[in-house]
């Protein structure tokens, strides 16, 4: 196995660790409110993996490590995986697939609305993540995948509006996202223009 193969295997295994930990805590009875714990955990790991995906380009350029680019798709798909688990937990365990209740909830609660919008925007990114779709969409593929920035902003907003008391954690995610997006602007118009 090549070095990148080992690295991909390691990232794959590390990306599954939160799922294993979550299953262990729920099945061992350590979670006081299992549904809330699963919802929070899957949401947190969606956001963490989304921000890690966005961090690949700056880290690759700063550290001059082009191999990192080969991990971005996997991290993005794991972000989508945890987003699907997060959404499924809401649909199944929280709302019992009651479509009317879900539609009312999306329309009535702003944090649900932006979370749903983020998931809807993330769906085409996951569906077009294959090499075949990249070839088929050509330049439009890149344009489509720029929507990952909107997904990340909506994800942070979803978390920020969800929390009612201690805003420290969502604000930290927001600051990290602002740093990643600010770096991109600096690279494109500041550093990149030199």
Band of the pLDDT at 190, cuts 50, 70, 90? Answer: confident
Buried b or exposed e, range 5-16, using 16+ CB within 10 angstroms: eeebeebeeebe
pLDDT at position 193 over 60: no
Letter string b/e over residues 44-76, b meaning 16 or more CB atoms within 10 A of that residue's CB = bbbbbbbbbbbbbbbebeeeeeeebeebbbbbb
Bigger pLDDT: 164 vs 155? 155
Residue 57 has pLDDT above 80, yes or no: yes
Helices and strands, counts by H and E, the chain: 9, 0
Other C-beta atoms within 10 Å of 192: how many? 11
Residues 60-84, mean pLDDT to the nearest whole number: 92
Number of domains in the chain: 1
CA 121 to chain CA centroid, nearest Å: 11
Range of the domain at 127: 3-191
pTM to 2 decimals?
0.93
pLDDT > 80? residue 192: no
* Confidence (pLDDT) at 191: 62
Q: What is the mean pLDDT of the chain?
A: 93
In 3D space, the residue among 65, 9, 16 whose CA is nearest the CA of residue 1 turns out to be: 9
- Which residues contact residue 90 at a Cβ distance below 8 angstroms, ignoring those fewer than 6 apart? 39
φ, ψ (nearest 5 deg) of residue 166: -85, 105
Residue 194: band (very low, low, confident or very high) from pLDDT cuts 50, 70, 90:
very low
- Taking 60 as the threshold, does the pLDDT of residue 67 lie above it? yes
Least confident segment among 7-11, 35-39, 65-69, 120-124? 65-69
For residue range 158-186, list pLDDT tens digits in order.
Answer: 999 999 889 999 999 999 999 999 999 88
The first and second tokens of residue 28, run together, are: 């061992």
pLDDT value at residue 77 = 97
Instruction: For 85-104, write each residue's pLDDT tens digit.
Output: 999 999 999 888 899 999 99
pLDDT average, residue stretch 46-70: 92
């Amino acid at each position: 196995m090549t070095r990148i193969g080992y690295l991909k295997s390691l990232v794959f295994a590390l990306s599954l660790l939160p799922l294993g930990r979550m299953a262990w805590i729920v099945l061992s009875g350590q979670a006081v409110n299992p549904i809330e714990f699963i919802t929070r955990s899957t949401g947190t790991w969606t956001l963490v993996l989304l921000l890690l995906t966005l961090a690949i380009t700056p880290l690759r350029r700063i550290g001059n490590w082009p191999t990192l680019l080969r991990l971005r798709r996997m991290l993005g798909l794991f972000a989508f995986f945890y987003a699907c688990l997060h959404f499924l937990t809401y649909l199944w365990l929280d709302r019992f697939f009651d479509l009317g209740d879900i539609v009312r909830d999306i329309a009535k609660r702003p944090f649900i609305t932006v979370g749903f919008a983020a998931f809807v925007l993330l769906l085409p990114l996951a569906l077009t993540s294959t090499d075949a779709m990249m070839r088929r969409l050509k330049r439009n593929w890149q344009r489509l995948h720029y929507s990952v920035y909107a997904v990340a902003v909506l994800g942070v907003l979803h978390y920020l509006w969800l929390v009612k008391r201690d805003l420290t954690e969502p604000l930290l995610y927001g600051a990290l996202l602002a740093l990643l997006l600010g770096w991109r602007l600096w690279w494109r118009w500041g550093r990149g223009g030199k």
